[in-house]
Amino acid sequence: MILIILGTRPEIIKMSPIIRECEKQQKEYFILHTGQHYSHNMDKIFFEQLNLPEPKYNLDVGSGTQAVQTAKMMMGIEHTLIKEKPGVVLVQGDTNSVLAGAIVASKLKIKVGHVEAGLRSYDKSMPEEINRILTDHCSDYLFPPTEKSKQILLKEGISEDKILVTGNTVVDAIHQNIKLSENNVLNNLRIKKKEYLLVTVHRQENVDLIDRFKGILDGINLIAKEFNLPVIYPIHPRSMNMFKKFGLNTNENVKLIGPVDYLNFLQLEASAKMVLTDSGGVQEETCILRVPCVTMRDNTERPETIEVGSNILAGTQPLKILKCARYMKKVENTWQNPFGDGKAGERIVNNITGVN
């Protein structure tokens, strides 16, 4: 029996190919949702759109400080694991839901599989970096997306026989959904293909600090003005809260909208002239969709995107962000996708169930 633990928007999206594969191979599995994300447009909408089964358990932990949120998840997960005794627990990525699942399962001597293992920003001020390192080091199956992330795991002393390079399930998810995403979102927003910019910003270390958040918004305002293009910014709830709290604003070219569903978001990404972000998943998706990306962070755990030339690190200073956008405007989008062939889900399910 496989238990798939998830809790946030990106985990629902990146676990969806694994869930589909379990269905296809008729494996016994069930889903536990921690409830870390709970607003309809951060949670249910993805289950509906991706046609995923209801989680058997939802812990409804909601928001809280790092410790309160993680502790509540751990208590609920422990209770469920003792009751259900799954053979293997799968977690994906670097959120608090991932850390809680991995720690509890490993202490109950239940095998843990970490999807998207081996990513490192080498910046321990990010809660995600702590979550990744600890999860990798208590996992039994490690599924790095690339050879580069495998090498990171080996350097940290993780034994090679636990590691399988699979590609990233984000590629599977794009292949499975990109056709479906051809819809009316551009018309509805009154924008034209390749004549607008797309922005997402939600990292705690960016939006919870007024100087950094303001620097990013000022950079986006400069770009909107110089490029004379509309900017679509589907704003994450954390960022919306901080935007209001700090009394920030944007210029008239920047259109703030609520978080959008996956199919609309894929379409917005694929048709954008350029994407400016601090999201992990968006750095990968733009690389796969061949759309230039400017990452408004000081580091990235997705260096493959920088190496192939789809992405550039801009930090949070307005003029540096503008300079990076000018540079990315000129790049040829002929790079190769480093994140695999879209069969990561199949490799992962085969591996944990002992097929080849």
Q: Which does 259 bind (CB under 5 to 8 A by kind): ligand UD1, ligand UDP, none?
A: ligand UDP
Considering the rule CB under 6 A, would residue 125 count as an interface residue with ligand UD1? no
Percent composition of the chain: helix, strand, coil (DSSP 3-state, to 5): 50, 15, 40
CB of 97 to ligand UD1, least distance (A): 7
Measure the N-to-C terminal CA separation of the chain; round to a whole number of Å: 18
Residue 280: name the closest of 303, 249, 262 by CA: 303
CB atoms within 10 A of CB 355: 11
CB of 275 to ligand UDP, least distance (A): 10
Q: Which does 13 bind (CB under 5 to 8 A by kind): ligand UDP, ligand UD1, none?
A: ligand UDP
Considering the rule CB under 6 A, would residue 342 count as an interface residue with ligand UDP? no
Considering the rule CB under 6 A, would residue 128 count as an interface residue with ligand UD1? yes
Residues 190-249 that bind ligand UD1 (CB under 6 A): 202, 204, 236-238, 241
State yes or no: is 79 an active-site residue: no
Residue 36 backbone dihedrals phi, psi, to 5 degrees: -60, -45
Residues 201-230 that bind ligand UDP (CB under 6 A): 202
Residue 212 identity (one-letter amino acid): R
CA distance 84 to 31: 12
Q: Which does 169 bind (CB under 5 to 8 A by kind): ligand UDP, ligand UD1, none?
A: none
CA distance 239 to 108: 37
CB of 7 to ligand UDP, least distance (A): 11
Identify which range of 56-64, 67-75, 208-216, 280-288 contacts ligand UDP by CB under 6 A: 280-288
CB of 248 to ligand UD1, least distance (A): 16
| Cβ atoms 94, 71 nearer than 8 A | no
